[in-house]
Chains A and B, each alone.
Chain A
Amino acid sequence: MYQALLTRRYLTSKLMPLLAMAAVLLSVATILITWSVMGGFLNALLSSGRTLIGDAFIAWPNVGFAYYEELAEDLEAHPRIEAAAPVIETYGMVRLPDDRVELIQVTGVEVASYSAVTGFGDTLWWKPLDKPTRKDKDRRDPRLDPNNRPVLTEFVENGLAMTRPDPDTGVPLPAGILGVEVTGLNYRTSGGIYIPINGQRALPSGGIESLDLFMPRNGSVGLTLLSLDSTGKPTDPVSRVLPIANEFQSGIYEVDSKTLIAPLDLIQRMLRMEEARRVASEGADDPWGYETDPQTGELRPAVPKATAADPARVTTVLIRGVPGTTPDEVAAIADSIYEQFAARHAGEVPDAFSIQISTWEDRNRTMIAAVKKETALVLVIFGIICFTTVFLVLAIFWSMISEKTRDIGILRALGASTPGVAWLWLRYGAAIGVVGAVLGLVAGWLIVTNINAIHDWLGEVLGPWLSGVLSTISGWFGGDPILINLVIWDPRVYYFVEIPRKVEPGKAAIVFVAGVLTCVLGALIPAVRSARMDPVKSLRFE
């Protein structure tokens, strides 16, 4: 009981515990901010992945599999599956307007089903905006210009239809959607927006030609795919010019700089995965074979006849679960549905054992694991730094106990036991830890919640102000101006426009407990020392 009273009084009447509290506060806030930002980064990565392929997918790369529409219907019939989208995923070569040739990931999609699974429509970049994005404070985004609204609206319509009208005839031509970072013709500003710029093309003569084009308006790429036969062997490369209807930004640089989305039927044709008739001629083995023309009754060379149809194929079916369903659950459902599907089409589609059914997280396990490892590494480093708090608290408590030696003697004279005295200081440490950790959580939460505003203020206000002050001082001594740049998270460098963050209650609880334990641990040795003090010597302490 006396411990509670003294803890309360020591907390409110001493400066020293405030220092210990500040140490815990800073440690807790630092760890929470780090964990939240790294966790937010991972979360942003995962949600971007979901934007790209949904929750799970069924894939049979290269050759692909048939009857995908039936499979998609089966999947969508399940109450926990929201949508399924057949797509083709392959690699190709793309020739860009400046004549660079790049390896590119090509995804052939049906816009409606693909949008239902991935939210693809929202990733289209060139669309009219009413409000500027948060970092675009000087409203430089061309999408805000009311004059551009009609043309941007047309770009959106083109993007969703995956067509672009022929400039001469007005006939809609199949068109692709390019990742916004592919061409290098969009300049990414510090506000995280894109400004279209003119490209340049090196001429064989050594000169440079300026490219006056804007991809969604008049830009095209040359796409070359290597088609495969039904056994998966490459046959011959197929090339065509593909107009660009719009550009997309998924949120992952690796995707936005290396992906082209094109109409599914177009890619099927280029890869020879479209529906085809299987034909045979009577007497096919005999090049001189004849048959009777049923209309004229005359003999003629044998004409090939369709004997069967090879159904169209896709390499992948993307699947999205209803809200609340985890990717793993969706993959499990897909597994069971595919098993029935494969049984119905035994010999025509890959068997259930061989097919790849997985989640986006599984597919990108290496990248995600790297981010997780980085998060863990940063936490360990910061954890070690924050562990110094233990020694700081220890030093502060050691000093406080020295100062309070006589009080300890008084308490012992009044009958306080040695564990009771030790508990007084442990309890005091715990109280400081709890208050410090709570304040640290609040501070951390406030900083994390406003981290982008704080970052902006550092970059836009404090940095220039410091630069001004230091340059003035430097000028007095004849020195050069000093520039202080406090913009750490520059959208020109980092892909996410804003610093991602996510405060998770579970993590906050762990940080809180660790903060309190840090303080208790720091108080432990001084507490034991106080308990072992000789009461007579303590009373005589000057």
Chain B
Amino acid sequence: MTSHSEHILAVSGLRKTYKLGRVPVPVLHGVDMAVKKREWVAILGASGSGKSTLLHLCGGLDRPDRVKGDQPKPKIVFEGRDIAAMGKRDLDRYRSRNVGFVFQFYHLLPELTVIENVTVGAMIRHGRFGYMAHRGESEKRAKALLESFGLGHRLRHRPAELSGGERQRVAIARALINDPDLLLADEPTGNLDRTTGGAILDAIAEHRARTGLTILMVTHDERIAERADRVVRLADGRVIEGSLPAEIGPSDPEIEVGTMPTPDAPGR
């Protein structure tokens, strides 16, 4: 049995409902899942299965539904801290220090140059005065990251001057600028052709090999999911396969509520 201290992330009982006008639309029906340190987990599911929502919840961008009565509270435990119960300020700090986001559509700031798009994450993390002290170090790291992704010659270019693959590499460099523990990637190759997408995954894999980064990646493509250590399948807001690392059993205290749900047995 693997110790729970090896889990970087464990979620349990996650429910999320959005509202379309006045109509509630449930997206997640009680998701349980755990990710080990240095693990590359792919969340695989069809469009609308709730995989991006799950990623946003894990990244502290959104909050799970509140439960009523004596039902167990939803938990998103990151290195022993329940981010579902965090205040706004702690959640901001969590996003800036512990996780890095990569999106399908790159989401670069069009007015900034490549290097500025990467260092902006460090600016947010360190704040006005902190960044003054870390400026040199941050810029050095940004250059190193961009060079490692083959963008050393593009530092002063604007996103509009880059190809899709180059933009996504910039986005990955931005996600990694603060040396996060967990990379959250939402269809990182979804907007790229297969060759470019493969190159992006190679770049991520290389970086992971060097640094031991934990990766939680959302995709709907089986072949891309195969690059991961483990695949968690999501359908209609429920985990249907692979919610736990193989060596972790349901008796693990941290993921007590994370019993393997099946399509026939909806999660809580």
Q: Which positions in A face B, CB cutoff 8 Å?
A: 1-2, 4-6, 9-10, 13, 406-407, 409-418, 420, 534-536, 539
Contacts and interface: CB of A to CB of B under 8 A. Distances in A.
B109 interface: yes
Contact of B103 (A4, A416, A417, A539): A539
A416 B96 CA distance: 8
A418 B94 CA distance: 14
A5 B97 contact: no
A71 to B, nearest CB: 68
Contact of B124 (A420, A536, A539): A420
A414 B120 contact: yes
Contacts of B223: none
A414 B101 contact: yes
A414 B123 CA distance: 10
Contacts of B109: 6, 407, 410
Contacts of A4: 128
30 contacts: A1-B126, A1-B127, A1-B128, A1-B132, A5-B112, A5-B120, A6-B109, A9-B111, A406-B107, A410-B108, A410-B109, A411-B124, A412-B61, A412-B95, A413-B61, A413-B95, A413-B101, A413-B107, A414-B120, A414-B174, A415-B93, A415-B97, A415-B121, A415-B124, A418-B88, A420-B124, A536-B61, A536-B62, A539-B61, A539-B103
B61 A414 contact: no
A10 B111 contact: yes
Contact of A415 (B62, B96, B107, B128): B96
A389 to B, nearest CB: 25
B92 interface: yes
Interface in B108-132: 108-109, 111-112, 116, 120-121, 123-128, 131-132
Contacts of A410: 107-109
Given A1-B131, A9-B111, A413-B103, 11 more contacts: A2-B123, A409-B107, A410-B109, A412-B61, A412-B95, A414-B101, A415-B93, A415-B96, A418-B88, A534-B62, A539-B103
B159 to A, nearest CB: 11
A124 to B, nearest CB: 67
B4 interface: no
Nearest to A410: B107
Nearest to B62: A536
A417 B88 contact: yes
A414 B94 CA distance: 10
Interface of B: 56, 59, 61-62, 88-89, 92-97, 101, 103, 107-109, 111-112, 116, 120-121, 123-128, 131-132, 174
Nearest to A14: B111
A135 to B, nearest CB: 51
Nearest to A420: B124
A403 to B, nearest CB: 11
Contact of A535 (B61, B89, B128, B132): B61
Nearest to A535: B61
SS class, residues of chain B in contact with chain A:
helix
A541 to B, nearest CB: 11
Contacts of A413: 59, 61, 95, 101, 103, 107
A415 B103 CA distance: 15
A530 B174 CA distance: 23
A539 B59 CA distance: 13
A400 to B, nearest CB: 12
Contacts of B111: 6, 9-10, 13
B62 A417 contact: no
Contacts of B94: 415
Contact of B120 (A2, A13, A409, A412): A2
Nearest to B126: A1
Nearest to B184: A413
Nearest to A10: B111
B258 to A, nearest CB: 24
A414 B88 contact: no
B81 to A, nearest CB: 16
Contacts of B101: 413-414
Contact of A536 (B56, B112, B123, B126): B56
Contacts of A5: 112, 116, 120, 123
A415 B120 CA distance: 10
A72 B248 CA distance: 110
Contacts of A10: 111
B105 to A, nearest CB: 9
A410 B167 CA distance: 14
A416 B124 contact: yes
Given A10-B111, A409-B107, A539-B107, A417 B123 contact: no
Given A410-B107, A539-B103, A415 B59 contact: no
B127 A415 contact: no
A226 to B, nearest CB: 80
A406 B108 CA distance: 9
B95 A415 contact: yes
B103 A2 contact: no
Contact of A1 (B97, B112, B123): B123
Nearest to A411: B124
Nearest to A8: B111
Contacts of B93: 415
Contacts of B96: 414-416
Contacts of A534: 62
Contacts of B131: 1
B54 to A, nearest CB: 12
Q: Which of A4, A10, A407, A410: most chain B Cβ within 10 A? A: A410
Contacts of B61: 412-413, 535-536, 539
Nearest to B97: A415
B89 A417 contact: yes
A5 B128 CA distance: 11
B116 A414 contact: no
Nearest to B132: A1
Nearest to B107: A410
Nearest to B129: A1
A1 B120 CA distance: 9
Nearest to A416: B124
A413 B103 CA distance: 10
